[in-house]
Every structure is written in C-alpha cells, then in structure tokens.
Amino acid sequence: MAHRIAFLGFVALAVCASMSLAAEPASLQDFCVADASSNTRMNGLACKDPAMVQASDFAFSGLHIPGNTSNAVGSRVTPVSVTQIPGLNTLGISMVRIDYAPWGINSLHTHPRATEILSVIDGSLEVGFVTSNPENRHITKILKKGDVFVFPVGLIHYQRNIGYGNAVAIAALSSQNPGVITIANTIFGSKPDINIDLLAKAFQVDKSVVWQLQSKF
C-alpha cells in the first residue's frame, strides 16, 4: 500500500511538473526586471540587481500615439512586451496597440506562446481564427467599439477594418514574449527560399504563382 501511495504521489508530482513547464515559470520573487546587458543565456531574461531597479523599468509611454498605417497591409502594431518594459520579465503578460487604416488588415498570423484577448477601442473589425486539422473551422465575428474577442494560443487569426474610417484595438497576450509568425511572410519570405516545387504542390498552384509571391516578400 505504501508503495502504491508513493507511486501515485510521484505521478501527481510529474503531472504538476509537466503543467508548470507548459506555461511561463512562476516568479519566485517580487519581480525579475530584465537585465539587457547580461550575456546569460536562459529561457527568459536574466534579472537586474533589485537594488538597481527604477520605476522606469515598469513603465512605457506612447500607447496613445497612433501607429503609421501607410504600408502594404494598412495596419501597424505597437508592442508593449518585455523589450519595452523590462519589469514584465517572468510576469507572463504583454499587450499591443493595433491601428488600422480603412479596410486595413492585421494579416493571418499566430502567436506560438500566447493566447490573445482583443478589445475594439474605435471602429469596426472583422476578426477570426481557424481551428487545427482536420476540421480547420473558421470562427469569425464582426466587432464594434467596446467588443472583446479571444484568439486561442497558437491558432492562425486575423483582423480586418470593415469601416471607412480608422480603427483602433488594444490586445493583451499571455506571455512576456508571445512571438508572432505572419503566415505569408513566413512561407513566401523565408531566407533561404522554400523550394518552389514543394510550395507549388502544397498549394496546388503553378510554380509561376509561387515565384511571383516569393518575389513580393
């Protein structure tokens, strides 16, 4: 009986350990302000000496400033992650401001390390995400000012301004460094290029189409 209890205790400990490793590590101190000058390699960033920490390590100014949307997709993301606020290190959260020109898009992308919750501050957005194989279900909704929508971690998602005026959204992400993989840029703009034959077969298009897309990225 004692051996069984010990075994079950070991299993429970292993399950808890695996769950903790699936998320960002919990802080074991009040804070761990990122030390940008450190050469230490680790999952996250090394801590600054607490005696050297200042209020500026926990602050960011400028989120009220509209982003420049004069680009090919008509949107601009202003991040507020551990790069902008060193005090976010180990806290498992960040945020962004997204500005959209009329009919601008935040094109298909995914965050490999974070769930995103987005709130529309101004304008109207078409938003959506696609579930994993084999269903590949497209879940989409029209959002207006004050509406909130969640994009689950790792799933491909997007936003599109469906109004004739500018739109603004604020989003929070469940990681200090959520990462972003923009689908078109990743597939057609990789360095070196992904083999054209492979992409043509994957997308079931002529190789000339792939070449044209790669030339744009």
* Per-residue pLDDT at 44 exceeds 90: no
CA distance 159 to 141: 10
Flag whether 89 is marked binding.
no
Flag whether 106 is marked binding.
yes
Q: What is the mean pLDDT of residues 40-64?
A: 90
Q: What are the pLDDT digits (tens) for 103-162?
A: 999 999 999 999 999 999 999 999 999 999 999 999 999 999 999 999 999 999 999 999
Check residue 36 and report its DSSP letter: T
Q: What are the pLDDT digits (tens) for 155-168?
A: 999 999 999 999 99
CA distance 173 to 116: 5
Flag whether 64 is marked binding.
no
Pick the closest to residue 35 from 57, 62, 10 (CA basis). Answer: 57
Q: Supply the pTM of this predicted model.
A: 0.85
Question: Would you state the pLDDT for residue 86?
Answer: 95
